[in-house]
């Protein structure tokens, strides 16, 4: 058994646009359905969604059964012991929120790598290694693990270039809600000043040689971000689709 290639990581390194959908409902059934819809990635949310570790585990299994979409797991914090568990469970694209400094980014790189290049604890037969069937997993996995950090504060914006210079940080995914709050516009991710800062930050990330990502549910603004060179773009969520679809259906008949 051979280690599966991370086609998402390959795609962003080649400058290919990756369109995805966020899933916040914590449902393995939903994840299985969505992973067969043709999106490049499905975002599994363990930060703001209800999913705990075992729910994410089940969603990873569902995505594997459902289709080719790459699961991206957003974890709740920087805890290296938690990162280890998600990696062992088979997560190979990890998104980490609230990364403000180069020191934090470097610590995250270390957390996803085995010694001597990092501090990830070793397990002989995790799901990630096909339960031990992938014999070279420990020596080959670094090439397939994709680390995405989230700059979401003023402090993070000040440190973009320093974080981008770190080998092992593959991409930046801007959190518009938290960034808006940090800029003084809480609850207003579509405020013109917030959009200006996001677009400027995207240019800085790209100038530093890294990939920029964003989640946006406004069609026109999403197209602007794509035109601005953002390559990891979440264009909606299961929760949003369910809410809007249910309300639209009812309005059709009432």
Distance of CA 228 to the CA centre of its chain: 19
- Report pLDDT digits (tens) over 147-198: 999 999 999 999 999 999 999 999 999 999 999 999 999 999 999 999 999 9
Peptide linkage before 116 cis (omega within 30 of 0): yes
pLDDT reported for residue 52: 96
Q: What is the CATH number of the domain that holds 106?
A: 3.20.20.60
- Using a 10 angstrom Cβ sphere, with 0-12 exposed, 13-18 middle and 19 or more buried, the burial of residue 67 is middle
Domain membership flag for residue 2? no
Domain membership flag for residue 201? yes
Q: Domain range spanning residue 57? A: 7-253
- Report pLDDT digits (tens) over 28-59: 999 999 999 999 999 999 999 999 999 999 99
CA distances from 16 to 213, 215, 232, 233 (A): 12, 17, 9, 11
Domain membership flag for residue 109? yes
pLDDT reported for residue 133: 97
Q: Please, which pLDDT band fits residue 19 given cuts at 50, 70 and 90?
A: very high
Contact 217, 236 (CB under 8 A): yes
The count of domains in the chain is: 1
Taking each helix axis from N to C terminus, what angle separates 102-111 and 80-88, rounded to the nearest 10 degrees?
Answer: 40
Domain membership flag for residue 225? yes
Domain membership flag for residue 1? no
pLDDT reported for residue 206: 98
Domain membership flag for residue 221? yes
Domain membership flag for residue 154? yes
Contact 237, 216 (CB under 8 A): no
Domain membership flag for residue 140? yes
- Report pLDDT digits (tens) over 199-233: 999 999 999 999 999 999 999 999 999 999 999 99
pLDDT reported for residue 233: 98
* CB-CB neighbours of 237 under 10 Å: 20
Any idea which residues carry the catalytic annotation? 48
pLDDT reported for residue 28: 97
CA distances from 244 to 23, 199, 220, 238 (A): 15, 27, 18, 10
Report the C-alpha gap between 68 and 177 in whole angstroms: 29
- Report pLDDT digits (tens) over 77-134: 999 999 999 999 999 999 999 999 999 999 999 999 999 999 999 999 999 999 999 9
């Amino acid at each position: 058994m051979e280690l599966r290639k991370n086609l998402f990581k390959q795609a962003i390194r080649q400058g290919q646009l990756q369109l995805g959908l966020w899933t916040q409902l914590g449902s393995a059934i939903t994840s299985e359905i969505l992973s067969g819809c043709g999106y490049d990635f499905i975002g599994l949310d363990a930060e703001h969604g209800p999913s705990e570790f075992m729910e994410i585990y089940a969603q990873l299994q569902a995505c594997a059964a459902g289709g080719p979409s790459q699961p991206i797991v957003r974890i709740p914090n920087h805890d290296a012991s938690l990162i280890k568990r998600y990696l062992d469970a088979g997560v190979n694209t990890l998104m980490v929120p609230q990364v403000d400094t180069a020191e934090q980014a470097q610590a995250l790189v270390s957390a996803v790598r085995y010694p001597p290049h990092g501090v990830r604890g070793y397990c002989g037969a995790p799901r990630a290694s096909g339960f031990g069937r992938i014999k070279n997993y420990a020596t080959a996995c670094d090439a397939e693990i994709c680390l995405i950090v989230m700059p979401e504060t003023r402090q993070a914006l000040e440190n973009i270039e320093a974080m981008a210079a770190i080998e092992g940080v593959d991409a930046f995914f801007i959190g518009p809600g938290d960034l808006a709050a940090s800029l003084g516009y809480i609850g207003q991710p579509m405020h013109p000043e917030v959009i200006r800062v996001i677009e400027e930050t995207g240019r800085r990330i790209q100038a530093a040689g890294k990939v920029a990502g964003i989640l946006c549910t406004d069609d026109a603004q999403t197209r602007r971000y794509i035109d601005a060179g953002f390559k990891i773009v979440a264009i909606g969520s299961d929760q949003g689709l369910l809410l809007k679809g249910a309300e639209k259906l009812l309005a059709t008949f009432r």
